Amino acid sequence: MKALLIIPTYNEIANIKNIITASLSQSPDLYILVIDDNSPDGTAKAVKEMMENEPHINLIERPKKMGLGSAYVQGFKYALNNDYDYVLEMDADFSHNPADIPRLLEAAKKYDVVIGSRYCQGVNIINWPFRRLLISYFASKYVRIITGMPIKDPTSGFKCFRRRVLEAIDLDSILSDGYAFQIEMNFRAWVKGFTIYEIPIVFTERRDGVSKMSRQIVWEAAWMVWRLQIMKLLGKIK
């Protein structure tokens, strides 16, 4: 088993070394790919320093801030070109617990897409303002109603794909870039009949740094679910 953990970064100097160290300690078969959008705080430089002594770390530097979705698509292509069996997504800010990585990988032996879910066993979120929690929770219900996907946390950014899922999806046709990207990848995998499974995780608000959430990202997700459903009905996603 050869697994790649993709971590997109922009100004994560406060977290990047610790998150890499904590993640690598979870499995000897795990490799990490950091995709940095030209962080002015020196995130990429910190990764390069770690690469000098750790062959399981790789880095892609991009010329500017280009977005979450395009970073993951680039990471997926890298994984396919370098023969990885499993591909994971995770945030750099410790919102996702690296100790859960083995649980995702273990479940991925049986299921095609494994989602680290905040909502599959109640609500497991720490240190979020109540308003943000409500928006996230009801947004997840909104996505389920519009798309029909049986997923309780469709916007989760902590997940694992089996290689065959990424091979089956036309990565160049991905439409979304913000958190809607997570919805779209789930939707395309679901439409193709891949098995999707949620495991409970505890999501903790970031330790350091600034959240990348914006109103534009929220609106993209709200409209994208309708666009995906229409494209499915028209036979453009199948």
DSSP string, 36-80: E---TTSHHHHHHHHHTT-TTEEEEE-SS---HHHHHHHHHHHHH
pLDDT on residue 221: 64
What is the distance between the alpha carbons of residues 119 and 126, in angstroms, rounded to a whole number?
Answer: 13
Q: Is the dihedral of CA 8, 192, 141, 150 positive or negative?
A: negative
Residue 133 has pLDDT above 90, yes or no: no
Residue 226 has pLDDT above 70, yes or no: yes
Q: What is the pLDDT of residue 193?
A: 97
The whole-number pLDDT of residue 205 equals: 76
Whether residue 238 contacts residue 191, with contact meaning beta carbons closer than 8 Å, is answered with yes
CB atoms closer than 10 angstroms to residue 233: 9
| pLDDT at residue 113 greater than cutoff 90 | yes
Q: What is the per-residue pLDDT across 5-22, written as a single tens digit (0 to 9) for each?
A: 999 999 999 999 999 999
- Residue spans of the domains in the chain: they are 3-233
Read off the pLDDT of each residue in 36-44 and give the average, rounded to a whole number.
97
Q: Which two tokens stand for residue 202?
A: 């505890």
Given a cut of 50, whether residue 212 has pLDDT beyond it is: no
Going by DSSP bridges, is the β-strand pair 125-126/196-200 parallel, antiparallel, or unpaired? Answer: unpaired
pLDDT at 208 over 60: no
Q: Is residue 59 exposed (0-12), middle (13-18) or buried (19+ Cβ within 10 Å)?
A: middle
Q: Evaluate whether 118 touches 156 at the Cβ level (below 8 Å).
A: yes
How much is the average pLDDT of 122-143?
79
Average of pLDDT values for 159-178?
94
Does domain 3-233 match CATH 3.40.50.1360?
A: no
Q: Taking 60 as the threshold, does the pLDDT of residue 206 lie above it?
A: no
pLDDT for res 170: 95
How far apart CA 228 and CA 63 sit, in angstroms, is 30
Lowest mean pLDDT among 99-103, 133-137, 144-148: 133-137
Q: Is the pTM of this model over 0.75?
A: yes
